[in-house]
Amino acid sequence: MATLLRIEDLKVRFRLGREQGQLRWGRAVGDESGGIGFDIPENTTVALVGESGSGKSVTAMSIVNLLPDNAERSGRILFDGRDLLQASTTELRALRGRAIACVFQDPMGSLNPVFTVGAQIAEPLRLHLGLSRRAALARVEELLAEVGLPEPKRRLSAYPHELSGGQQQRVMIAMALACEPRLLIADEPTTALDVTVQRQILELLARLKAERRMSMLFISHDLGVVGEIADQVVVMRQGQIRETGPVAAIFTAPQDAYTRALLACRPRLDGTARRLVVIDEHIAGEAGQTVTAPVSPAVPRDASAPVLIEARGLCKSFPIREGLFRSRAFKAVQDVSFTLRRGHTLGVVGESGSGKTTMGLTLLRLHEATAGQVLFDGQNLFALQGAERQALRRRIQIVFQNPYASLNPRFTIGQTLLEPMQLHAIGADDREREARALALLERVGLDATAFGKYPHEFSGGQRQRIAIARALTLSPEVLVLDEAVSALDVSVQAQVLNLLKDLQDQLGLAYVFISHDLAVVRFMADEVLVMKDGRVVERADAQTLLAAPREDYTRRLLGAIPRGYTATQ
């Protein structure tokens, strides 16, 4: 099979400024001993896998030189025998979108909010193919139909914010395929999507790749996803390639300890493990070294523990304007009831738009309920006002999905942790509050040097640990965890989930664990609510629900979970 793209001895480093008159460099791909290299054959999907920071995206963006100005590349990137590292800006601009196209993780970060969908997809058609406006819009309608967007003609005049996350990603795919590229670079295109939409996007990419006979470079940290779409796999860690091979060989007989660790650390639907495997622990165990990570003994769940939260007929509606004088109520949460006991975890699962997050925010009165009651330790949460409401808020806290957005970039970590304690008058003075903050940092696996740093100095997993520490500053009894690990790679996700289990055992915390990932919910939850269109359609203990779901909707959620490579592929 002919080679479409070949990477030879690629090294990428970034200028970090000057120190004592000398330039400082940060190396992202390759090292002093050499760079990396691999091939992408024609009509083939090659997957780049590894943890965050492994160099996957830097490698991919090096192909079309979408790196920041402080990047320096060396080696060779041959596309159809032509070295792209030697190509001029004009030549690269002609290639981007025409012969090589990209689909990124966050469609809202890639789509222009002030232009319609039709105008944005039509732009590369008019720029590269010279189509008239009318011809371009006609082709856009065909593309939107091809990627499975309902009512494609009506979507031409829609703006990005009017579409769901899955629909936005379909628009990005349509835009990328507009000029029929020979190579599609898909950089974590399904990471932020729920399992059913993820399944649809994976099937769409596989179908379009087969129909158009194009090549694809698929970037992911999730080997379960990679096993379903890739022909060849390249495993990266710390800027180096650890292993390459056909997808069957990587999944059935991985040669490198790091690849085996990646496969081992993801939660399993059939698993009952007390803790998840972390990559460094797995590698150390294979090498015969002693694993020093603390393992708390499992604390059995007390079926008679006191009820902390009881929701009765919880409802939340939002007014939607229809015309100048009319509006209607959109029922986001409808008649939801459940109980949560001290030290237990209630899992809440469903597709995007099912009402999971709205239900969680309504529990905390970040949305005011339309109807129903929430009894917190016997008190009606919705009837409390003033000082009573403020006092109860200390006892129930939330950790959001995106730690990049939930931490104030202008506050040091110390200020972030001290502020809630100051507002709620916890601690006799600042010295006592600072000691408490340092103890919490240690508890979530960070040292005292983090206290004076800013959020941008930490990885995503470390930021989520900081967000958890902030929630713990008020000694809450309940944590609402809203997709708290969905944006993390599998190894960091395992670390954070283990941490949450340990904190629950040590502090007796109760969790409302909101997620679209049923494998994660299986690991964390004692009881699971399945939500659809704002309603609870199924409720059972985690093991029973996943082993024998009663509802077709639950079975569909389970069927959409990536299973990795199977011998029948």
Percent of the chain clearing pLDDT 70 (strictly above)? 95
Check residue 297 and give its pLDDT.
Answer: 47
Q: How far is CA 374 from CA 310, 335, 360, 378, in A?
A: 6, 12, 12, 9
Q: What single-letter DSSP state applies at residue 31?
A: B
- Quick: pLDDT tens for 100-119: 998 887 777 788 899 999 99
Q: How far apart are CA 38 and CA 119, in angstroms?
A: 37
- Quick: pLDDT tens for 474-486: 989 999 999 888 7
Is the pLDDT score of 272 beyond 80? Answer: no
- Quick: pLDDT tens for 361-378: 999 888 999 999 999 988
Band of residue 37 on the pLDDT scale cut at 50, 70, 90:
very high
Q: How far apart are CA 323 and CA 347, in angstroms?
A: 39
Q: Please state, as a whole number, how many other Cβ atoms lie within 10 Å of the Cβ of residue 354.
A: 25
CA proximity to 407, closest of 349, 325, 465: 465
Please provide residue 139's backbone torsions phi and psi, each rounded to the nearest 5 degrees.
-70, -35
Q: What is 44-71+85-248's CATH topology?
A: Rossmann fold (3.40.50)
Asked whether the domain spanning 308-560 has the same topology as the one spanning 44-71+85-248, the reply is yes
Check residue 362 and give its pLDDT.
Answer: 92
The answer to whether residues 220 and 188 touch, using CB atoms and an 8 Å cutoff, is yes
Is the pLDDT score of 25 beyond 90? Answer: no
Please provide residue 320's backbone torsions phi and psi, each rounded to the nearest 5 degrees.
-120, 120
Band of residue 510 on the pLDDT scale cut at 50, 70, 90:
very high
Q: Where are the domains of the chain?
A: 44-71+85-248, 308-560
Retrieve residue 345's tokens: 């975890």
Architecture of the domain made up of 308-560:
3-Layer(aba) Sandwich (3.40)
Check residue 122 and give its pLDDT.
Answer: 92
Band of residue 295 on the pLDDT scale cut at 50, 70, 90:
very low
Question: Mind giving me the DSSP string for 386-416?
Answer: HHHHHHHHTTEEEE-S-HHHHS-TTS-HHHH
- Quick: pLDDT tens for 212-271: 899 999 998 878 888 889 999 999 999 999 999 999 999 889 999 999 888 888 777 776
Check residue 271 and give its pLDDT.
Answer: 64
Is the pLDDT score of 298 beyond 80? Answer: no
Long-range own/partner contacts, residues 255-258 (CB < 8 A, 24 or more apart): 257/282, 257/283, 257/286, 257/287, 258/283
Check residue 287 and give its pLDDT.
Answer: 67
Is the pLDDT score of 353 beyond 70? Answer: yes
Percent of the chain clearing pLDDT 90 (strictly above)? 37
Band of residue 328 on the pLDDT scale cut at 50, 70, 90:
confident
Q: How far apart are CA 267 and CA 346, in angstroms?
A: 17
Q: Please state, as a whole number, how many other Cβ atoms lie within 10 Å of the Cβ of residue 415.
A: 15
Global pTM value: 0.81
Band of residue 293 on the pLDDT scale cut at 50, 70, 90:
very low
Is the pLDDT score of 313 beyond 80? Answer: yes
Please provide residue 75's backbone torsions phi and psi, each rounded to the nearest 5 degrees.
110, -150
Check residue 81 and give its pLDDT.
Answer: 87
